[in-house]
Amino acid sequence: MSYLEQEIREQPEVLARLLTEEVEKARALAEAMRRRKIQYIMVAARGTSDNAGRYGQYLFGAMNHLPVALAAPSLFSIYGTPPRFGDCLVLGISQSGQSPDIVGVLEEARRQGVMTAAITNEPDSPLGQVGDHVLSLHAGPERSVAATKTYTAEVMAVALINAVLSGDPANLAALSTVPEAAAKTLDLAPEVKRVAERYRFADRLVVLGRGYNFATAFEIALKLKETNYIASEPYSPADFLHGPLAMIDESYPVIFVAPSGAMLPEMRFAMQRVSERGAELLVISDDDAALAAGQLGLRLPAALPEWLTPLVAVLPGQLLALHMALERGDDPDHPRALQKVTLTR
């Protein structure tokens, strides 16, 4: 079994451990945010961690009415023109906590007297050292280059902070159901393998997701790029229908991430429009009508509140990246040209 497959399968345990170990740290961060009267959040991240930040943009806004901006680290590290933060929480998200440009954003925030927090799998890393508050992912060593368990742990950490900050016990209770839902979703592996056999020669595809699952579309597309070297492009359907739809024809597979929730009607409308172009639809959903709209479907076995669906909807995408790589004869643990820790400035 590859490291990538092992780590995909570890995710329910990692998520459960994070919830148990980090809830008090999340409460301390939430209380500090209230005391400081935080008005918005700036997220500094790269790659997979940036996708966790995209999820945070929607969740902090929807659940706690806090605007979230994604930092442009080059303003700090190369241009030398950092913005003024104001009444802000600067949140760094990084699996390794080692990337100098992400650390530099938090260092500048400290110079400005701004509150900082870090989400990382390495609390003693340079990023952890510049965070006023640090949440550990508790994911253990990650040996596969393509991140899986650290991504869902980052998403869980963001969800945990929001649940505690909201002050609603029901949100924490809902979070506690996620590890079991993730375990059930991983049982889709045999079905995903059959999809991978069909897509083994694909060299391009589109992944669509909206709202909370905009981040999921980005993360699935990234995993397919990293492990299968194919042009997999993520979009919100709201943007996709404004122009990129023109490139779609019967040769273009389109993956829809469409769990139940407020965005489902919009996703079903987009499915209709894309189907008119003759594309083959692979639908990841728990909704019967959405699944029926696709030629291929992967049924999410557990219904969760929409804000938590990114924690399970990404899992079939991870499995697809794994099994497509195996079908194509590629090494899923060691994608070409990549290494585990990427240091950027």
Q: Which residues are marked as active site?
A: 340
Q: Which two tokens stand for residue 175?
A: 């979070």
Sheet holding 68-70, edge to edge: 68-70, 40-44, 88-94, 115-120, 133-136
Residue 310 near residue 284, CB atoms below 8 Å = no
Find out whether 171 and 63 touch, Cβ atoms under 8 Å: yes
Can you read off the two tokens belonging to residue 139?
Answer: 């994911």
Short-list 101, 108, 118, 46, CA closest to 83: 108
State which amino acid sits at residue 129. Q
3-state helix, strand, coil in the chain (%, to 5): 50, 15, 35
Mutual angle of helices 149-166 and 310-327, in 10-degree steps: 170
